Amino acid sequence: MKNIKTFCKIMTAVFFCLSCTAKENKSEIKNPAKNEVAMKSYISVSMDEGLKMLSEEKNAVLLDVRRPDEYQAGHMPGAILFTNETMTPEKAENLIPSKNTKLFVYCRSGRRSKEASQKLADYGYTNVVEIGGIMNYSGELEK
Protein backbone atom coordinates (compact mmCIF):
# COMPACT_ATOMS: atom_id res chain seq x y z
CA MET A 1 0.00 0.00 0.00
CA LYS A 2 2.88 2.35 0.86
CA ASN A 3 4.45 1.67 -2.57
CA ILE A 4 1.18 2.54 -4.33
CA LYS A 5 0.97 5.90 -2.53
CA THR A 6 4.59 6.67 -3.38
CA PHE A 7 4.01 5.67 -7.01
CA CYS A 8 0.91 7.92 -7.21
CA LYS A 9 2.83 10.89 -5.75
CA ILE A 10 5.65 10.40 -8.25
CA MET A 11 3.25 10.11 -11.20
CA THR A 12 1.41 13.26 -10.08
CA ALA A 13 4.69 15.17 -9.90
CA VAL A 14 5.75 13.91 -13.34
CA PHE A 15 2.38 14.85 -14.83
CA PHE A 16 2.57 18.31 -13.27
CA CYS A 17 6.08 18.90 -14.64
CA LEU A 18 5.08 17.77 -18.13
CA SER A 19 2.02 20.03 -18.08
CA CYS A 20 4.15 23.08 -17.25
CA THR A 21 6.64 22.26 -20.00
CA ALA A 22 3.90 22.02 -22.64
CA LYS A 23 2.64 25.50 -21.76
CA GLU A 24 6.13 26.98 -22.06
CA ASN A 25 6.57 25.52 -25.55
CA LYS A 26 3.66 27.61 -26.88
CA SER A 27 6.04 30.57 -27.24
CA GLU A 28 8.13 28.59 -29.70
CA ILE A 29 7.69 29.16 -33.43
CA LYS A 30 8.20 26.53 -36.12
CA ASN A 31 10.76 27.69 -38.66
CA PRO A 32 9.92 25.81 -41.86
CA ALA A 33 12.93 27.19 -43.75
CA LYS A 34 15.32 25.51 -41.31
CA ASN A 35 12.96 22.69 -40.25
CA GLU A 36 13.55 23.50 -36.58
CA VAL A 37 11.80 25.14 -33.68
CA ALA A 38 13.09 28.60 -32.78
CA MET A 39 12.14 31.01 -30.05
CA LYS A 40 10.45 34.23 -31.10
CA SER A 41 13.28 36.75 -31.14
CA TYR A 42 11.66 40.04 -32.07
CA ILE A 43 9.24 42.30 -30.25
CA SER A 44 5.73 43.29 -31.31
CA VAL A 45 4.27 46.64 -30.35
CA SER A 46 1.32 48.71 -31.49
CA MET A 47 1.66 51.05 -34.45
CA ASP A 48 1.52 54.10 -32.15
CA GLU A 49 4.14 52.72 -29.77
CA GLY A 50 6.34 51.67 -32.68
CA LEU A 51 6.19 55.12 -34.26
CA LYS A 52 7.13 56.70 -30.94
CA MET A 53 10.09 54.31 -30.62
CA LEU A 54 11.08 54.98 -34.24
CA SER A 55 11.09 58.74 -33.66
CA GLU A 56 13.55 58.26 -30.77
CA GLU A 57 16.04 56.20 -32.82
CA LYS A 58 18.73 57.86 -34.93
CA ASN A 59 19.78 55.14 -37.37
CA ALA A 60 16.69 52.94 -37.42
CA VAL A 61 15.29 51.48 -40.63
CA LEU A 62 11.56 51.33 -41.39
CA LEU A 63 10.72 48.32 -43.56
CA ASP A 64 7.52 47.91 -45.56
CA VAL A 65 7.21 44.20 -46.31
CA ARG A 66 4.15 44.40 -48.59
CA ARG A 67 4.12 43.78 -52.34
CA PRO A 68 5.55 46.45 -54.69
CA ASP A 69 2.07 47.45 -55.94
CA GLU A 70 0.89 48.02 -52.36
CA TYR A 71 4.00 50.06 -51.58
CA GLN A 72 3.54 52.22 -54.69
CA ALA A 73 -0.10 52.89 -53.78
CA GLY A 74 1.11 54.56 -50.57
CA HIS A 75 3.65 53.87 -47.86
CA MET A 76 4.80 55.41 -44.61
CA PRO A 77 7.33 58.25 -45.10
CA GLY A 78 10.89 56.96 -45.15
CA ALA A 79 9.89 53.30 -45.48
CA ILE A 80 12.04 50.99 -47.56
CA LEU A 81 10.33 48.25 -49.57
CA PHE A 82 11.55 44.77 -48.62
CA THR A 83 8.90 42.33 -49.78
CA ASN A 84 8.28 39.47 -47.35
CA GLU A 85 7.67 36.89 -50.07
CA THR A 86 11.05 37.48 -51.72
CA MET A 87 13.10 38.08 -48.55
CA THR A 88 16.32 36.06 -48.28
CA PRO A 89 19.35 36.29 -45.99
CA GLU A 90 21.48 37.56 -48.87
CA LYS A 91 19.02 40.31 -49.79
CA ALA A 92 18.73 41.31 -46.13
CA GLU A 93 22.49 41.57 -45.76
CA ASN A 94 22.76 43.67 -48.93
CA LEU A 95 20.02 46.02 -47.75
CA ILE A 96 20.98 46.14 -44.05
CA PRO A 97 24.63 45.13 -43.52
CA SER A 98 24.68 45.65 -39.74
CA LYS A 99 22.78 42.98 -37.81
CA ASN A 100 22.47 45.42 -34.87
CA THR A 101 20.47 48.01 -36.83
CA LYS A 102 17.12 48.77 -35.20
CA LEU A 103 14.47 47.57 -37.68
CA PHE A 104 10.80 48.54 -37.59
CA VAL A 105 8.66 46.25 -39.74
CA TYR A 106 5.10 46.76 -41.01
CA CYS A 107 2.75 45.37 -43.67
CA ARG A 108 -0.96 45.87 -44.38
CA SER A 109 -2.60 44.10 -41.44
CA GLY A 110 0.23 42.63 -39.33
CA ARG A 111 0.47 39.03 -40.56
CA ARG A 112 3.32 39.48 -43.05
CA SER A 113 5.17 41.81 -40.70
CA LYS A 114 5.25 39.06 -38.07
CA GLU A 115 6.53 36.55 -40.65
CA ALA A 116 9.16 38.98 -41.93
CA SER A 117 10.24 39.93 -38.40
CA GLN A 118 10.81 36.29 -37.55
CA LYS A 119 12.78 35.78 -40.77
CA LEU A 120 14.98 38.78 -39.97
CA ALA A 121 15.56 37.48 -36.45
CA ASP A 122 16.42 34.05 -37.90
CA TYR A 123 18.90 35.77 -40.24
CA GLY A 124 20.68 37.17 -37.16
CA TYR A 125 19.18 40.66 -36.81
CA THR A 126 19.04 41.46 -33.11
CA ASN A 127 16.87 44.60 -32.90
CA VAL A 128 13.66 43.80 -34.79
CA VAL A 129 10.42 45.54 -33.83
CA GLU A 130 7.19 44.44 -35.50
CA ILE A 131 4.68 47.31 -35.54
CA GLY A 132 1.71 45.70 -37.28
CA GLY A 133 -0.21 46.98 -40.27
CA ILE A 134 -0.48 50.24 -42.15
CA MET A 135 -4.23 49.91 -41.61
CA ASN A 136 -3.53 51.23 -38.10
CA TYR A 137 -1.44 54.17 -39.35
CA SER A 138 -3.19 57.54 -39.41
CA GLY A 139 -0.42 59.73 -40.83
CA GLU A 140 0.20 60.91 -44.37
CA LEU A 141 1.43 58.48 -47.01
CA GLU A 142 4.16 58.86 -49.61
CA LYS A 143 3.53 57.72 -53.18
Residues recognised as catalytic:
107
Q: What is the pLDDT of residues 57-97, one digit of tens each?
A: 999 999 999 999 999 999 999 999 999 999 999 999 999 99
Does domain 40-136 bear CATH number 3.40.250.10? Answer: yes
What is the three-state SS of 96-139? CCCCCCEEEEEECCCHHHHHHHHHHHHCCCCEEEEEEEHHHCCC
Q: Judge if pTM exceeds 0.85.
A: no
Residue ranges of domains in the chain: 2-28, 40-136
Q: What is the pLDDT of residue 12?
A: 46
Q: What is the DSSP letter of 77?
A: T
Q: What is the DSSP letter of 85?
A: G
Q: What is the pLDDT of residue 40?
A: 72
Q: What is the pLDDT of residues 5-58, one digit of tens each?
A: 554 455 444 444 443 332 222 334 444 445 455 567 999 999 999 999 999 999
For 109, other C-beta atoms within 10 Å of its C-beta total: 14
